[in-house]
Amino acid sequence: MCWVLTNGMAGFETQGIGIADALGLTPVVKRVTPPAPYRWLAPHGPAAPDANIKAPWPDLLIASGRQSIPYARMIKRASKGKTFVVILQNPRVSPAQFDLVWAPAHDELTGPNVISTLVSPHRLTRERLRDEAAIWEPKLAHLPRPRVAVLVGGKNAIYDFDEAAAAKLGAQLAALTDKKGVSLMVTPSRRTGEAQTKIIKDALADKPAYVWDGTGDNPYFGFLGQADAVIVTSDSVNMVGEAAFTGKPVYVVELSGHSAKFRRFLDAMYEKAAARPFTGTLESWEYAPLNATHDIAEAIRTRFANR
């Protein structure tokens, strides 16, 4: 039995489920919302009582996020070490408390039971990309090739994406359709902003472009499956990493803002030739697709068998 334990944040949960999927497991998803003062003390304090977190304990626990760490320690202790505990992301406590810790390379976390990869785990597979591409083909059939997926994030604690940035991106995208003869598949996110989304949509109004309006099924995976190239904003490590899973040319729109960790990540992606900065033009190159999910799953499988 496998549990994926998080505070319910989609990014954490998706990573854990993706790894469980890669291991051929159907996980039980557990979500914790500890009250104060427990949530203030995490990851260092004890686990808050939770009726949903009880024996029988799983054989494998995949936990992610600060609020999950006290529960991961408690489960390892209560199971008398029988539960193999995997932590995703930097736990902010000693990795030696767990069986295996994965952290992105840009976190620079080290230890005998720590593994790192350039990109993050996810739920993408070749089959899913193919299937989602087929689902979206009828809606995109009017778009000529080459088709470029444009993954637009937005403002976060590190980066800004104001209306001026949206106008610049919209103008660059419109110019691409004129100069390179490409069509565009654009998916804004919840963080993009209504004004910014409208600016981009208006810039592409008379161009060969499909801009998702936020209703109905999310086209994210379908656009990746359809893409001959991908343009993605720099605010999301996950989006950049998922784009690099396709093996297609990936261009990063570097937004205003700075983070040493994000800088290390982007520079490593450029050095790996898995991505290039977006300067308003397109080129073509090849690289080995990045698949951290497989690498992490294999590390878990090996260490679980040898413990």
Query: Which domains, and CATH codes, for the chain?
Result: 2-118+295-306 (3.40.50), 126-277 (3.40.50.2000)
The candidate with the shortest Cα–Cα distance to 238, out of 123, 129, 119, is 119
From residue 296, give the alpha-carbon distance in Å to each of 22, 42, 127: 9, 25, 19
pTM of the model: 0.92
The candidate with the shortest Cα–Cα distance to 276, out of 242, 234, 227, is 234
Per-residue model confidence as pLDDT tens digits over 117-137:
999 999 999 999 999 999 999
Per-residue model confidence as pLDDT tens digits over 169-216:
999 999 999 999 999 999 999 899 999 999 999 999 999 999 999 999
The candidate with the shortest Cα–Cα distance to 76, out of 65, 87, 92, is 87
From residue 15, give the alpha-carbon distance in Å to each of 50, 78, 92, 124, 295: 23, 25, 18, 10, 13
Contact between 290 and 240 under an 8 Å Cβ cutoff? The reply is: no
Confidence band, pLDDT 50/70/90 cuts, at residue 29:
very high
